[in-house]
Structure 1
Amino acid sequence: MLSEFNIKEVFTAGMILFAVIDIIGNIPIIIDLRKKVGHIQSEKASIVAGIIMIVFLFLGKEILNLIGIDVNSFAVAGAFILFFLALEMILGISLYKDDAPETASVVPLAFPLIAGAGTMTTLVSLQAEYEAINIIVGIVVNIVIVYLVLKSSAKIERILGSQGINVIRKVFGVILLAIAVKLFATNIQSLFV
C-alpha cells in the first residue's frame, strides 16, 4: 500500500478537489448561513462531508456498474460538469448551484455545499487516473481545509475582502477548466476503442 503512495498524486488530487469543493468561493454563502441561523457545526459538517466522499470513492463505481455506466463515460460527463463549474467561477455566473440552504444543519452544509454533485463526479473520475490511497489523503487534506475555513470564515472574509475572494475564485476556475479539458481528453479516447 505504501508503494502506491505518491505525493505528486496526493497534491494533484487534492488540488483538483480543492478547486471543485471551492470552499473559498463558498465563503459568502457560509457567512450568509451563519447570519441567518447563528452557529454552524463546523466539525460535524466536515466529518459528514469526508465520510460521504470516501464512501462514494469506493462505492461510486459499483453504483455506476449497477446502472450500466462505465467509469470512462462517467468521467467524460464529469468533465462537462467541471467545465460548467469552472465557467461559473471564472465568469461569476450561476448555472449550477441551488439556492443557499435554509438551515445550517449538517446535511445541507455537508452534502450540497461541500460534497456536492461536482465533487462526487470528480471522485469517480479521479479513480480512473490515481491510486485510492492518494485520493483519500487528498480528501482528508481538503476536509481539514474545509474545517479551518468553516471555523474562521468571518475572519477570512475580513482579511481577503470581497475582491480578494473573487480573484481566488477566478484563479481556481481557470485551474478547474484546464482539469476538465484534460479529463475529457484522457477519457474520450477509450469510448471509441
Structure 2
Amino acid sequence: MNIHFDQLITVTFTLFAVIDIVGSIPLLISLKDKMGDIRSSKATLVSGGLMILFLLVGQQFLSILGLDIRSFAVGGSIVIFLLGLEMVLGHEIFKGDSDAASGTVVPIAFPIIAGSGTLTTIMSLKANFQQVYILAGIIINLIIVYIVLKSLRFIEHALGKAGLLAVRKFFGVILLAIAVKIFSSNIAAFGK
C-alpha cells in the first residue's frame, strides 16, 4: 500500500485546527482550577473513542436519533458559546463539579476536545480521504491533546496569572466567534 503523506498531513492539520487544543488551554486551566486535576488519559481516551466512533458510525447514529449534522452542530455551538462567554466575562456559568471524573468527560472530552465541529469535520473528511488517513490523523492529534493536558500545570506557571488572564479573555472571544460561525452556518438549514 502506498502511503500518501500529503493526505495524512492535510487530515492531521485540519483536525488540529478544529480541535484547537492550544486555544483551549486557558479554558482547560480554569476547569482544572474548579475540578481539581483533569484526568488526562481518561479525557484523551473518551474524546478519541468519540472521534473514532463518529468516523465509523456517526451518520447512522444521528439518523437513528432523528437528528442531522446541522442540529448536532447548533447544539454544540451553544455550549461552546457559553464557555466562551464565561471566559470573557469571568462569570461562572458551568458550576464547579467536585467530581473530576464527570468533568473530565463533559465538558472536557466533549464538547471541548471532541466537539460538534470536530465530529462533523471527521464525517466531512470521509468524502475526500481514505478512512485510514483520518484514523491516523485522529491518533496523532490525540497524542498532542494528551501532552497538552499533562503539561497544563507547567503551561500555567510559564504564563503567570496576568498572562493567563489575557490569553483566557483572548481565546474566549475566539471561542465566541467559532460558536457564532458554527451556529450561523448551520441554523439556516432549519428555515428550509
Instruction: Give the TM-score normalised by structure 2.
Output: 0.70
Q: Is the 8 A contact 1:13 1:138 kept in 2?
A: yes
Closer/same/farther in 2, CA of residues 136 and 168 from structure 1, 3 Å limit: farther
Q: Is the 8 A contact 2:43 2:109 kept in 1?
A: no
SS at match of 1:115: helix
Which residue matches 1:22?
A: 24
Which residue matches 1:72?
A: 70
Closer/same/farther in 2, CA of residues 182 and 55 from structure 1, 3 Å limit: same
| 2:123 matches 1:121 | no
Give per-residue Cα distances to partners, 1:29-65, cap 9 Å, x unaligned. Answer: 436624xxxxx76445423432233324543433321
SS at match of 2:146: helix
2:106 maps to amino acid: P
Closer/same/farther in 2, CA of residues 67 and 14 from structure 1, 3 Å limit: same
Which residue matches 2:96?
A: 99
| 2:2 matches 1:5 | no
Shift of 1:115: 0.9
Instruction: Give the TM-score normalised by structure 1.
Output: 0.70
Aligned residue among 59, 62, 67 for 2:60: 62
User: Which is further off, 158-167 or 74-83?
Assistant: 74-83
| 2:106 matches 1:112 | yes
CA RMSD of aligned residues (A): 3.5
CA distance in 1, matches of 2:135, 2:106: 20
Which residue matches 1:131?
A: 125
Which residue matches 1:151?
A: 150
How many residue pairs get aligned? The number is: 183
Runs of 4+ in 1 over 6 A off after TM superposition: none
CA distance in 1, matches of 2:136, 2:169: 25
CA distance in 2, matches of 1:153, 1:20: 11
CA distance in 2, matches of 1:174, 1:191: 26
Q: Is the 8 A contact 2:40 2:149 kept in 1?
A: yes
Matched ranges for 1:38-57 at <5 A? 42-57=40-55
Which residue matches 2:163?
A: 164
Give per-residue Cα distances to partners, 1:147-170, cap 9 Å, x unaligned. Answer: 223333322222111222222222
- Give the unaligned 5+ runs of structure 1: 35-39
